[in-house]
């Protein structure tokens, strides 16, 4: 498979995040991706490519998923943060005030201009540091996802967008969960725009892909499926429940399969089969897999118990679906094992696709 690699990913290196009243070191680190690259050097799976970023094409693709106001905010956010106070250059931007959505509580359309308020308008947690290089890295990552989509449109069987920051928590005009631009949604939309009539997104990250669900919630042309830790107890808490089946024209085109903390590969595989039954009925022409590896037993911020060899089986099973498949790199924070687990899944896919 072709692997589109974002060499600018390390421009985004969050220092700290807020976790339950404390500032703790950021989990979403550049070394995550470096471990995948190192494992790919040991077990090569295909060409490693770096897509060129064409400004106009990229901007048009970003606007298919994210709002213009949000993109403008992200692009200028660091400069606005430092303009508040020159000392801010020494620390990452994190929001500390939010307009809750209760009726009459706060005006969602308030014409506020203060950067602290705008940060709260576009973020849903205080765990996602926005840094000097966030826009550079996220934008180059989006270009990888779009290049991977082009590879499938050109007839490729599989492609991997190896990029960070991750994307599946990012919505139309907000960031959170370490995500800024929704790479999986950008890829799915690019596949639609390139002529695929029906695209399925199967999110296997430990955390519900809330951003992707929201982006396609009222659409029947993109089926969103997600296996994840039950939001009753797991991040992102406010979305990802089983009764969210889509709305309007999208009614019936979203399926959430939340699983209790502590679930192992057997329960996870059963949920996968339910998702794949839904996928078969949909008649997808291409598949996008937001590939989180934080279902691993050793993950420091998650609660499933999948083991390294399980990722090989997952890859083989996904290959047997028989669809052109695009993987985006999402979560996974057991940094030392992350490279092995990611390459296991992709190698399993290659083995399954070849058999």
92 versus 294: smaller Cβ distance to Zn ion: 294
Of 144-152, 243-251, 289-297, 305-313, the segment contacting Zn ion by CB under 5 A is 289-297
120 versus 332: smaller Cβ distance to Zn ion: 332
Of 94-102, 131-139, 279-287, 326-334, the segment contacting Zn ion by CB under 5 A is 326-334
Pairing of strands 286-291, 325-329: parallel
CB 275 within 8 A of CB 194: no
* Range 190-229, binding Zn ion (CB under 5 A): 205-207
Extended strands (E) in 204-348: 222-229, 254-259, 286-291, 325-329
One DSSP character per residue, 307-325 reads -HHHHHHHHHHHHHT-S-E
267-272: long-range contacts, CB 8 A cutoff, minimum separation 24: 268/227, 268/295, 268/304, 268/306, 268/310, 269/313, 269/317, 271/227, 272/204, 272/227, 272/314, 272/317
Minimum separation from the CB atom of position 299 to Zn ion (A) = 8
Catalytic residue (one of 12, 122, 169, 207): 169
Under the binding rule (CB under 5 A), the answer on residue 125 touching Zn ion is no
CB atoms within 10 A of CB 57: 12
127 versus 352: smaller Cβ distance to Zn ion: 127
State the Cα angle at 169 between 83 and 325, rounded to 5°.
125
95 vs 117: CA distance, rounded Å:
8
CB 309 within 8 A of CB 299: no
151 versus 205: smaller Cβ distance to Zn ion: 205
Rg of the chain (C-alpha set): 19
What is the per-residue binding string for Zn ion in 226-265, x denoting contact by CB under 5 A?
----------------------------------------
User: Which residue lies nearest Zn ion, judged by its C-beta?
Assistant: 331
Under the binding rule (CB under 5 A), the answer on residue 292 touching Zn ion is yes
Which tokens is 4 given?
Answer: 């589109």
Pairing of strands 222-229, 254-259: parallel
Of 126-134, 142-150, 294-302, 310-318, the segment contacting Zn ion by CB under 5 A is 294-302
Minimum separation from the CB atom of position 132 to Zn ion (A) = 24
Among 229, 236, 331, 339, binds Zn ion (CB under 5 A): 331
Minimum separation from the CB atom of position 168 to Zn ion (A) = 8
Under the binding rule (CB under 5 A), the answer on residue 310 touching Zn ion is no
Count the site residues for Zn ion by CB under 5 A: 6
Minimum separation from the CB atom of position 284 to Zn ion (A) = 23
205 versus 244: smaller Cβ distance to Zn ion: 205
Q: Is 114 a catalytic residue?
A: no
Under the binding rule (CB under 5 A), the answer on residue 294 touching Zn ion is yes
Residues marked active site are found at 169
Footprint of Zn ion on this chain (CB under 5 A)? 205-207, 292, 294, 331
């Amino acid at each position: 498979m072709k692997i589109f690699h974002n060499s600018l990913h390390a421009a985004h290196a969050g220092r700290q995040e807020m976790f339950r009243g404390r500032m703790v070191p950021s989990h979403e680190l550049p070394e995550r991706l470096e471990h995948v690259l190192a494992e790919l050097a040991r077990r090569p799976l295909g060409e490693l490519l770096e897509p060129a970023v064409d400004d106009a094409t990229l901007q048009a693709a970003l606007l298919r998923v994210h709002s213009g106001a949000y993109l403008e905010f992200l692009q200028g956010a660091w400069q606005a943060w430092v303009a508040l106070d020159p000392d801010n250059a020494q620390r990452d931007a994190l929001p500390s005030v939010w307009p809750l959505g209760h009726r009459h509580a706060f005006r969602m359309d308030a014409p506020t201009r203060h950067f602290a308020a705008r940060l709260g308008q576009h973020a849903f947690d205080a765990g996602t540091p926005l840094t000097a290089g966030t826009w550079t890295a996220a934008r180059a990552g989006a270009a990888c996802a779009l290049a991977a989509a082009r590879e499938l449109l050109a007839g490729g069987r599989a492609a991997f967008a190896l990029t960070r920051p991750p994307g599946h928590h990012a919505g139309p005009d907000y960031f959170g969960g370490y995500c800024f631009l929704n790479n999986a949604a950008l890829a799915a939309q690019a596949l639609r725009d390139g002529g695929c009539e029906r695209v399925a997104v199967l999110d296997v990250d430990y955390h519900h892909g809330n951003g992707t669900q929201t982006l396609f919630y009222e659409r029947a042309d993109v089926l969103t499926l997600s296996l994840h830790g039950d939001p009753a107890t797991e991040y992102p808490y406010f979305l990802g429940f089983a009764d969210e089946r889509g709305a309007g024209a999208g009614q019936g085109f979203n399926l959430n399969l939340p699983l209790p903390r502590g679930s192992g590969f057997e329960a996870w595989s059963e949920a996968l089969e339910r998702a794949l039954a839904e996928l078969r009925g949909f008649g997808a022409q291409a598949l996008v897999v937001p590939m989180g590896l934080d279902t691993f037993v050793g993950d420091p911020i998650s609660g499933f118990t999948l083991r390294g060899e399980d990722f090989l089986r997952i890859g083989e099973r996904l290959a047997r679906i028989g669809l052109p498949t695009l993987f985006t790199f999402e979560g996974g924070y057991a940094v030392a094992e992350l490279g092995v687990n990611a390459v296991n899944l992709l190698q399993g896919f290659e083995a399954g696709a070849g058999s």
